[in-house]
Structure 1
């Protein structure tokens, strides 16, 4: 019982650290671009709710708040209330305001790339290139050869092996249109994936090419990935997380998702805890790597979520700025306030619903 409690507390603490880092990076994006645009950042806060402690450094107050979920940058003159000065958010051009709003999600995407790069450089990368064809597999039946590069599946360009896995998972056992590149020439095939009882997934039937990470211990028989290959993998892995997250959120907001697809703070704690414990069964370093991987996925998730065009999120503010560009004049402050309040109410209701589904999963 004691060890179980320690495990739960460890999961909560690690999750809060991960979320805290993601929020700080996100808000730092808003902070640094606001500064560059000449906007006075009145407060940089980590957490929400009552202020626990704060320190004034220069013109900005840095604070830590009671609930360690979320955070914010309070920008001078962000609303019509009070005097609008040259250092107010609303005094800046629409493009400057848009850059400030977009900077948070962009920083989350960059963080995801950096984390994936670190994991890949210290481990390995898997490329969508045939290393060996399995006997009796669909790949052998259509004549795939060692060195073939998986170029497209169902018309979607494949850059990394993760993209191929995601498409295969979504496609199930349905036939796929496969394009491979061999000696610079594109060949087209139709292939029906084979179900594997061992992995409980549908497979094409080949072993992909694996390369050692730049800083990883060298394994005989495997080449070492170049810096370019590692950056290439990290960038497209991040884009793959972004795509999967956007598709998932679209299902959620259009009420097409099943309850299992919803996940809030409790789900995050469970995923982080399970990943950490699974890694510990091998080594402490493996546990850290698992947590870093989850952090990379969550960072991409946070970036996508904040870009959704819902008032109250960065994407909602960007949408209102796009409307301002099209109308060639600012929106009526009262109308904008109502829209933002409506978005806030929707988000609060949605968060309550997600928390409810989280709790129901426990029982």
Structure 2
């Protein structure tokens, strides 16, 4: 149960912020947003507010913001359709009934001859007395089919009608909000858990280590090594690593007094064959609760995690990782359960890292991802005109198929690791 709740919290938060970015910038651009969805597949919860349907869907595989004018959002009334019309006080159509009998004296029935629900907003056809009639359609008119209501979208409220800059911001805002979420989480951690000070204070000395033989103790504050000032923990570790087998004179502060200790780092060979020095101490940075430093910490951590993920991505592209090193929803679910065992703050670090990872992955110039759409916008900017929508749609469709194949393969690996390699 703990794993399920942790996964719902982590997944829901990351996807919500990603889609919230798309949603806010779409609204600011005047785009009609039909649906704000968390999850994919069958709807398990839905609430209509204004012109937008807010849903939670069954499969935890992402989410989406469905905007007017995108693929599969074209509303057309074909010739021969029998429709029922309801007019407002200005004699404009405010409701259009499709495929249903409506028992209402205010409904005017017509057989559609022609209609434009996109730009000029009108509908023309033959009434029950076989007369050709024409009505203007209100900008907020509703089409009702089998009980489902859909607001029409005048062209100026569709995604494609917006400027290149507005479309670019709307798509880029999703990944951007993932980075913002990570930044906010790190600030939260800095305020309530504390910001690491990185002071060179020894937390623990290992038995039978060079540090123990030199007389070092937990709580020692290392002031200098061979006369070189030590300001932060990285200064200490770097100096020790670079001087294996050499005698080092350390000035440490203990109980308000300074003492000089002599330690000789032992040789340790790393996996890459490099030999470095170690003295056998464990470090746990003291934490400081300071709101200003928490903001700085938020920037630093977001940047450092971004660099780490980009480096891992470069290694993946270079072939230093295999498919077995990747994790899908099942693997993330399992890892989230393990992380949750270490407490709420650790889970928040994990959430921030996953949010940055999602932001970066979505910016890759691959079809069906936000980065793929931004790539087409870049081509449009260079050409001075958009790429043919059918061609772009086909590229994205192929991308979705390939991503689904990759997702299935990665998920299968996750399942095998989970059930057959315990």
Number of aligned residue pairs: give it. 299
Q: Residues 81 and 116 (structure 1 numbering): CA distance in 2 closer, same or farther, change over 3 Å? A: closer
2:320 aligned residue: 256
Q: Greater strand share, 1 or 2?
A: 2
List alignment gaps of at least 5 residues for structure 2.
Answer: 75-117, 119-153, 203-209, 217-222, 245-264
Secondary structure class of the residue paired with 2:357? helix
- Determine which of 230, 239, 246 is the counterpart of 1:146: 230
User: After superposition, what is the alpha-carbon deviation per residue over 1:285-334, rounded to whole angstroms, capped at 9, x for unaligned?
Assistant: xx222222211111111111111111111111111111111111100112
1:94 aligned residue: 164
Is 1:311–1:317's contact at 8 Å kept on the other side of the alignment? yes
How big is the alpha-carbon RMSD for the aligned residues of Structure 1 and Structure 2?
3.6
1:330 aligned residue: 386
2:410 aligned residue: 354
Secondary structure class of the residue paired with 1:86? helix
Q: Residues 346 and 251 (structure 1 numbering): CA distance in 2 closer, same or farther, change over 3 Å? A: farther
Q: Residues 202 and 15 (structure 1 numbering): CA distance in 2 closer, same or farther, change over 3 Å? A: farther
1:213 aligned residue: 288
2:397 aligned with 1:341:
yes
User: After superposition, what is the alpha-carbon deviation per residue over 1:41-65, rounded to whole angstroms, capped at 9, x for unaligned?
Assistant: 1111111011223221101111121
List alignment gaps of at least 5 residues for structure 1.
Answer: 1-8, 152-160, 166-171, 176-191, 215-225, 280-286
* TM, length-normalised to structure 1: 0.72
**Distance in structure 2 (CA, Å) of the matches to 1:92 and 1:348:** 30
Q: Residues 88 and 254 (structure 1 numbering): CA distance in 2 closer, same or farther, change over 3 Å? A: farther
Whichever of the two has the greater Rg, that structure is 2
1:115-154 equivalence runs, <5 A: 115-127=185-197, 130=200, 144-147=228-231
User: After superposition, what is the alpha-carbon deviation per residue over 1:143-190, rounded to whole angstroms, capped at 9, x for unaligned?
Assistant: 542326869xxxxxxxxx9xx99xxxxxx99x9xxxxxxxxxxxxxxx
1:1-363 equivalence runs, <5 A: 9-79=1-71, 82=74, 83=118, 85-127=155-197, 130=200, 144-147=228-231, 195=268, 210-214=285-289, 226-253=290-317, 255-277=319-341, 279=342, 287-362=343-418, 363=420
1:169 aligned residue: none
Deviation at 1:207?
Answer: 8.2
* TM, length-normalised to structure 2: 0.62
Is 2:224–2:230's contact at 8 Å kept on the other side of the alignment? no
Is 1:122–1:213's contact at 8 Å kept on the other side of the alignment? no
Deviation at 1:110?
Answer: 0.9
User: After superposition, what is the alpha-carbon deviation per residue over 1:261-304, rounded to whole angstroms, capped at 9, x for unaligned?
Assistant: 21111221222211222x2xxxxxxx222222211111111111
Is 1:20–1:69's contact at 8 Å kept on the other side of the alignment? no
Relative contact order: is structure 1 or structure 2 higher (C-alpha 8 Å, sep ≥ 6)? 1
**Distance in structure 2 (CA, Å) of the matches to 1:108 and 1:203:** 39
Deviation at 1:247?
Answer: 2.5
Is 1:311–1:339's contact at 8 Å kept on the other side of the alignment? yes
**Distance in structure 1 (CA, Å) of the matches to 2:392 and 2:282:** 55
Q: Greater helix share, 1 or 2?
A: 1
**Distance in structure 1 (CA, Å) of the matches to 2:276 and 2:330:** 31
**Distance in structure 1 (CA, Å) of the matches to 2:49 and 2:179:** 28
Is 1:130–1:145's contact at 8 Å kept on the other side of the alignment? no
User: After superposition, what is the alpha-carbon deviation per residue over 1:110-154, rounded to whole angstroms, capped at 9, x for unaligned?
Assistant: 11111111122222323456457x9689x9777542326869xxx
